[in-house]
Structure 1
Amino acid sequence: MDFRMLRRMAHFLAVAEEGHFGRAAARLGLSQPPLSAQIQALEAELGVRLLERTRKGARPTREGEALLPVIRRLAEEAKQVEALARELRAGRQLPMALACVTSALFDFLPPLVRALRDAQPDAAMAVQEMDTADAVEALRRGEVDFALARLDHDRLPLHVLPLGKDALVAALPDGHALLGTAGPLPLAALAREPLMLLPRSISPAYFDRQISACRAAGFEPVPVREVSSAMAQLAFVAAGLGVALVSSGMAVLRPPGVAFRELAGPVDSVGVALVWNGERETEAARLAVQVARQVFPQSEPAP
């Protein structure tokens, strides 16, 4: 696969996400005819039709929908290649690729990256946002050196260094009746509320901890919808479609339309851990472990 094909995939992705050739062209800084030509060239290379025009714009065909997740992953990896190459061109020496779950982007990632930069100023760093399941697979394949993910025990050959405990909080839409109550919210108060849940496949331990907490509070949670990311959870809560249990790290975002309530208990979540592959241990991974122990003094080996 050459970079021309990757570029065409990025063009297809833009149209699929925008749902409109004109908006995609504006986003890419192109006019519509060259964009259409790029999509046609990609369809010819792949031998399938990817997009169909509608009265409102454009949408992926059945074949396009099937290929969309793979193309999105390839496009993201191409961005990481470009970012890493840019860092190397700037004179940085040690390649360092890491993955990070959304809920760790604001409280765990910044201090770790700053400390890594201080310890190794010439590191060429590339960061990818991934859910735990994707991060685990990327580590197994050797695509990243280490990850910040939600795991609570080693999964050999993966090693886990817990960086800090976390608690679940309730995310409620503004104006929700439960916001009028005082003090920490009993988890049982959510028994009849439709929950926005992340799929178990994204992070089994995180999912199981939430379900177990609900059952311990005396109720079976009512999942109204599974969403693909923690950010999507908050967006749907803001729209009034339900409530969510999220990590306290997400509460720092304070998105409009969402209010957060501490839960009585508290209800522990699966904390964020530094994860690396012992069979593919790199210099970057060893440095990350060393630095993480200094930045997060409470870190300790997983049981």
Structure 2
Amino acid sequence: MDFRLVRRLGHFLAVAEEGHFGRAAARLGISQPPLTAQIQALERELGVQLLHRTGKGARPTRAGEALLPLARRLAEGAGQLELLARELRAGRHAPVALACVTSALFDYLPPLVRGLQAARPSSAIAVREMDTADAVEALRRGEVDLALLRLDQDRHPIRLHSLGPDVLAAALPAAHPLAAGAGPLDLSALADEPMLVLPRAISPAYSDAMVAACRAAGFAPRAEREVGSAMAQLGFVAAGLGVALVSAGMARLRPPGVAFRDLAGPIQAVGVALAWHAERESEVTRLALALAGGLFPLGDAQQVASPEDKAGQMR
């Protein structure tokens, strides 16, 4: 970022808003000649005239009016950057970036975020919803500090703390003949049903678990349509476009038009894990692990093999 340009844009913004060089200089805490020099330098750098000088003050030109919205955004961004730098210099906490798969948004994300907020009240927490494949890459690139994802094997150097087991459930249109049944549903009852599935490219673990379960029940699933997320699966089910096998935890969402049936077995799915980059382990990592141990006592820590060993185990 060219901070001289941002500073000059801030000076231009002050003059445009005050309509007067003297008042703008007073607002900025500088004298008028340096302010005039900064505006002139900005106009030379951009190659356009930004202000009309009048006897009573100054007003933006057409080019200046066009530049004002961007100048405001840049000035706000620079202010936020300076504020964050001051907080870090004062020893306050850096922000935490967290990736989360759709199916962990309700059971796992809220208690973990509340715990982090309670332990680090001065630290902003940014959550990004993404599938496991993207979350793993975001961890690798250092774009997020932690991730809640569906992965049961390491993708070195990503480490995992399992938050607990999970099982599959059947999501059916509310008007489906099987929707109102009592007791667990035999998966073989869905042998002829069109399935709404996630692309294997983004959800290999889910895809593999679903296919293996269907084959064990004596049939190959009819993959009618691929959809982009677990929430999209439920939306398509509600529309009557097919059935889906989803994490049993999704039933707690109670979306209208969707009925859930437990499956006989039960049929195991890849559970949610807390993931981090082993080479960037930090205070935030240790805090999150401590919180996870108390919040989700059925989980356990593990480190697993290289990407080649379990290249497909993702959700």
What pairs with 1:256-295 in structure 2 (closer than 5 Å)? 256-295=256-295
Task: Give the Cα–Cα distance (whole angstroms) in 1 for the partners of residues 83 and 187 of structure 2.
Answer: 47
Deviations 1:220-264 (A, max 9, x none): 000000000111101110110000001012111111111111111
Task: Give the Cα–Cα distance (whole angstroms) in 2 for the partners of residues 215 and 195 of structure 1.
Answer: 14
Per the alignment, in what secondary structure is the counterpart of residue 123 of structure 1?
Answer: coil
Task: Give the Cα–Cα distance (whole angstroms) in 2 for the partners of residues 86 and 294 of structure 1.
Answer: 36
What pairs with 1:148-187 in structure 2 (closer than 5 Å)? 148-187=148-187
Task: Give the Cα–Cα distance (whole angstroms) in 2 for the partners of residues 243 and 281 of structure 1.
Answer: 41
Per the alignment, in what secondary structure is the counterpart of residue 126 of structure 1?
Answer: strand
What pairs with 1:86-105 in structure 2 (closer than 5 Å)? 88=84, 93-105=93-105
Q: Between the two proteins, what is the percent identity of the paired residues? A: 64
How much has 1:179 moved relative to structure 2?
2.0
Map of 1:134 onto structure 2: 134
How much has 1:85 moved relative to structure 2?
6.7
Task: Give the Cα–Cα distance (whole angstroms) in 1 for the partners of residues 189 and 112 of structure 2.
Answer: 37
Task: Give the Cα–Cα distance (whole angstroms) in 2 for the partners of residues 150 and 260 of structure 1.
Answer: 21
Q: What is the Cα-based RMSD across aligned positions, in Å?
A: 2.4
Map of 1:113 onto structure 2: 113
Per the alignment, in what secondary structure is the counterpart of residue 184 of structure 1?
Answer: coil
How much has 1:200 moved relative to structure 2?
0.9
Task: Give the Cα–Cα distance (whole angstroms) in 1 for the partners of residues 255 and 298 of structure 2.
Answer: 29
- Counterparts in 2 of 1:294 and 1:177: CA distance versus 1, 3 Å: same
Map of 1:30 onto structure 2: none
Per the alignment, in what secondary structure is the counterpart of residue 255 of structure 1?
Answer: coil
How much has 1:94 moved relative to structure 2?
2.5
- Counterparts in 2 of 1:193 and 1:88: CA distance versus 1, 3 Å: farther
4+ aligned runs moved over 3 Å, structure 1:
84-92
Task: Give the Cα–Cα distance (whole angstroms) in 1 for the partners of residues 195 and 82 of structure 2.
Answer: 42
2:235 is the alignment partner of 1:235: yes
- Counterparts in 2 of 1:121 and 1:173: CA distance versus 1, 3 Å: same
Task: Give the Cα–Cα distance (whole angstroms) in 2 for the partners of residues 117 and 108 of structure 1.
Answer: 15
- Which structure 1 residue ranges, 5 or more long, are not aligned? 3-80
- Counterparts in 2 of 1:226 and 1:284: CA distance versus 1, 3 Å: same
How much has 1:119 moved relative to structure 2?
2.0
Per the alignment, in what secondary structure is the counterpart of residue 301 of structure 1?
Answer: strand
Map of 2:221 onto structure 1: 221
- Indicate conservation of the 8 Å contact 1:88/1:124, yes or no: no
- Indicate conservation of the 8 Å contact 2:146/2:285, yes or no: yes
Task: Give the Cα–Cα distance (whole angstroms) in 1 for the partners of residues 273 and 207 of structure 2.
Answer: 16
TM-score of the superposed pair, with normalisation by structure 1: 0.69
Map of 1:55 onto structure 2: none
Per the alignment, in what secondary structure is the counterpart of residue 270 of structure 2?
Answer: strand
Per the alignment, in what secondary structure is the counterpart of residue 177 of structure 1?
Answer: coil
Map of 1:301 onto structure 2: 301
- Indicate conservation of the 8 Å contact 1:95/1:284, yes or no: no
Deviations 1:26-81 (A, max 9, x none): xxxxxxxxxxxxxxxxxxxxxxxxxxxxxxxxxxxxxxxxxxxxxxxxxxxxxxx9
- Indicate conservation of the 8 Å contact 2:160/2:276, yes or no: yes
- Indicate conservation of the 8 Å contact 1:211/1:221, yes or no: yes
- Counterparts in 2 of 1:209 and 1:85: CA distance versus 1, 3 Å: farther
Per the alignment, in what secondary structure is the counterpart of residue 199 of structure 1?
Answer: coil
Aligned-partner residue type, residue 146 of structure 2: F
- Which structure 2 residue ranges, 5 or more long, are not aligned? 3-76, 305-315
How much has 1:88 moved relative to structure 2?
4.8
- Indicate conservation of the 8 Å contact 2:198/2:227, yes or no: yes
- Counterparts in 2 of 1:263 and 1:116: CA distance versus 1, 3 Å: same
- Counterparts in 2 of 1:293 and 1:90: CA distance versus 1, 3 Å: farther
Deviations 1:109-146 (A, max 9, x none): 11111111222222221111111111011001010001
Task: Give the Cα–Cα distance (whole angstroms) in 1 for the partners of residues 298 and 125 of structure 2.
Answer: 25
Task: Give the Cα–Cα distance (whole angstroms) in 1 for the partners of residues 202 and 83 of structure 2.
Answer: 30
TM-score of the superposed pair, with normalisation by structure 2: 0.67
- Counterparts in 2 of 1:266 and 1:254: CA distance versus 1, 3 Å: same
- Counterparts in 2 of 1:212 and 1:138: CA distance versus 1, 3 Å: same
Aligned-partner residue type, residue 175 of structure 1: A
